[in-house]
Copies of this chain bind each other. A is one copy, B any other.
Amino acid sequence: MEGMVRFDEKDREILETLRKEGRITLTELGRRLGLSPASVKNRIDKLKELGAIRGFSAVIDPSFLERYVKVFMLLKLKAEDPDVDRVLSKFAALDNVQAVYRTTGRTQVLIIAEFEDMDEMKRFAGRLKGSLGSLLEYIEWGTIYDSLKECWVTTGKRGSFHGRKGGYI
């Protein structure tokens, strides 16, 4: 064998597998790849160092955390500014925020977050507006009432969320 000079098919398989089975054992992963558990561990450590693996997560039904409102928000900015990412990082750190993406297109930010109720969502949106100030033009949003797939995990129908319509804030 020539070793893992760069990045080979086995590394790719490790990444693909860990996405779908985040808690698979090194032994089982090694069995599938034809590698020893120690080699798999070496590769995973390397993949973390390289930044290929950012972390591990469980896919949780939010209603068990008493968060009955899941929403996506699209932020339309008036202007780009270094402050935007600074503000977004602050909100990204919140426990009820699942994802914060910077995007191209009509809007510039996509946020996915969960809330106990509509009031909490409104307060969140209010703080977002307050923090971004004149940089924000509007927030388009909608509730997420079903997840066919989430974080690479195919999820059967889950308990439905409140069926309130989205709109503009």
Residues of chain A touching chain B, judged by Cβ–Cβ distance below 8 Å, are 7, 11-12, 15-16, 18-23, 47, 50-61, 64-65, 72, 85, 88-89, 92-93, 95, 97-107, 110, 140-156, 158, 163-167
| Residues on B with beta carbons closer than 8 Å to the beta carbon of A56 | 21-23, 56-59, 153
Most interface-central of A95, A144, A152 (chain B CB within 10 A): A152
By the criterion CB–CB under 8 Å, are B151 and A102 in contact?
Answer: no
By the criterion CB–CB under 8 Å, are B65 and A153 in contact?
Answer: no
| Residues on B with beta carbons closer than 8 Å to the beta carbon of A53 | 58-61
7 A-B pairs in the complex with CB atoms less than 8 angstroms apart: A15-B65, A18-B58, A22-B57, A54-B61, A103-B143, A105-B166, A106-B142
Number of copies: 2
By the criterion CB–CB under 8 Å, are A55 and B153 in contact?
Answer: yes
| Residues on B with beta carbons closer than 8 Å to the beta carbon of A110 | 72, 142, 144
| Residues on B with beta carbons closer than 8 Å to the beta carbon of A93 | 149, 154
| Interface of chain A: mostly helix, strand, loop or mixed | mixed
| Residues on B with beta carbons closer than 8 Å to the beta carbon of A101 | 72, 144, 146-148, 150
| Residues on B with beta carbons closer than 8 Å to the beta carbon of A155 | 54-55
Nearest-CB distance from A165 to chain B (Å)?
5
Most interface-central of A54, A147, A155 (chain B CB within 10 A): A54
A158 to B104, CA, bound (A): 16
| Residues on B with beta carbons closer than 8 Å to the beta carbon of A106 | 140, 142, 166
Q: A22-B23, A155-B54, A158-B51 are in contact. Are A103 and B59 (CB under 8 A)?
A: no
By the criterion CB–CB under 8 Å, are A100 and B148 in contact?
Answer: yes
Q: A57-B19, A57-B59 are in contact. Are A65 and B12 (CB under 8 A)?
A: yes
